[in-house]
Amino acid sequence: MSTSPTSTEGLLEHKAGYYARLIELGYSTSAAKKQRQLLVEFATWTQRRRIPLADLAGAETEAFFLRRRAQGRANLRTPLSLDPLFAYLRHVGALAAPVSCAPTGPLEVFLAGYLSFLTAERGLAQGTAHMYLRMAGQLASEHEGDNGIDWTSLRAGDVTDFTRRACQGQGVSWARQVVSALRCLLRYLQLEGLTDLALDQAVLSTAGVSPPPPQGISPAEVEALLGSCDCQSATGRRDYAILLLLCRLGLRGGEVIGLMLDDIGWRSGEVVVKGKGGRRDRLPLPTDVGEALVDYVCHGRPRTDDRAVFVRHCAPIGRIGETGTIRSVLARACDRAGVAYVRPHRLRHTVATEMLRAGVPLRDIGQVLGHQSAAATAVYTRVDLDSLRVVARHWPEAAA
């Protein structure tokens, strides 16, 4: 195998740049030195095996790390330890970006097309799309044969039986998700001409009690959550701004992490929120929220080229990738404030119920929350019991 340039020479010439990049990404000096030393050792190992620099990402490196573990190394002991190095080499153009393998089998091709439909056409959130995709994969695998997936043989009885098995032993909430996922899939099959039957009609609605009215938290609990943040620290400034967006604007977790610097109109006092279904809503930016964002961006946000408003404060510094981080921010605030843990969606309910009690019309509440239908907002009318008592008919007294 050719060694021009040799992997040792190619890697070692990046040693200084790699170290500087790690420091830039927030790694401590100690951690960056360990990664730099790993680069030197890995370069020597690849040279012995005559692995060209261009082939490093595809090389089998388990033997290298097996040797490190046998030597009793306390850290950087698995192939995942090379991910920061490969990311840097791609960043500077020394290593080609990984090529995603095109789907080959009938099931993979179908699921790839369906995922594209869910994200591009339906605009589903990532988590919802993958749940729908999992249901589709399970049903498709049951009808996969030597000639591909035979959707024409699918009948209402098959759909009913699959629904029963998918929901067995689960709660009402899960059953409702399964029903929604199957209806979406079956409508897609008819839309694509893979079946002539309207099988979505075979998916019956889930039986069960109506869900309770949306439950918010009290204004005192909201203030306790906000007051628990240490706004003298960088992380505290970030968490305070995140909680304000949840408590004042009722944003979803995904909408918070998807917020970009360019989405904020600093002069106009507006913010563009990218919601479900590709929806983009322009909302007024309350004064306290705007001040918290300015404080974080100017005095707390780490330096990074990423345009996301909220980023990680530990290495590698970059945008927050999962909504779980938002839940963690809220969980820590609840713990500090002595408030029972609440999900981000309950803060969304809090915003809606407070607006309703203040006399804000449902249409305006739905616009703030980014609802696509009036029915989604109408559930909050069940919360305002005082207003419902005015329109409720008097129950006649029982005859003496």
Q: Residue 380 catalytic?
A: yes
Catalytic residue, chosen from 14, 248, 348, 349, is 348
DSSP strand pairing (270-274 vs 264-265): antiparallel
Residue 341 annotated as catalytic: no
Place of tokens 């843990």: 341
Per-residue HEC secondary structure of the chain comes to CCCCCCHHHHHHCCHHHHHHHHHHCCCCHHHHHHHHHHHHHHHHHHHHCCCCHHHHHHCCCHHHHHHHHHCCCCCCCCHHHHHHHHHHHHHCCCCCCCCCCCCCCHHHHHHHHHHHHHHHHCCCCHHHHHHHHHHHHHHHHCCEECCEECHHHCCHHHHHHHHHHHHCCCCHHHHHHHHHHHHHHHHHHHHCCCCCCCHHHHCCCCCCCCCCCCCCCCHHHHHHHHHCCCCCCHHHHHHHHHHHHHHHCCCCHHHHHCCEHHHEECCCCEEEEECHHHCEEEEECCHHHHHHHHHHHHHCCCCCCCCECCECCCCCCCECCCCHHHHHHHHHHHHHHCCCCCCHHHHHHHHHHHHHHCCCCHHHHHHHHCCCCHHHHHHHHHCCHHHHHHHCCCCCCCCC
Residue type, 355: M
Q: Which of 327, 345, 346, 357 is catalytic?
A: 345
Our answer to whether residue 313 is catalytic in this structure is no
Q: Is 371 a catalytic residue?
A: yes
| Residue 297 identity (one-letter amino acid) | V
Cis peptide before 316 (omega within 30 of 0): yes
Q: Residue 79 phi/psi, 5° resolution?
A: -55, -25
Out of 34, 248, 312, 371, pick the active-site residue: 371
Q: Look up residue 11 and give its two tokens.
A: 């890697």
Q: Which of 183, 276, 319, 327 is catalytic?
A: 276
Q: Cβ neighbours of residue 101 under 8 Å, at least 6 residues apart?
A: none
Q: CA–CA separation, 132 vs 124, rounded Å?
A: 10
Residue 393, token pair as written in the block? 């008919």
Of the residues 252, 301, 312, 349, only one is catalytic, namely 252
- 48 part of the active site: no
Q: 332 catalytic, yes or no?
A: no
Annotated catalytic residues are 252, 276, 345, 348, 371, 380
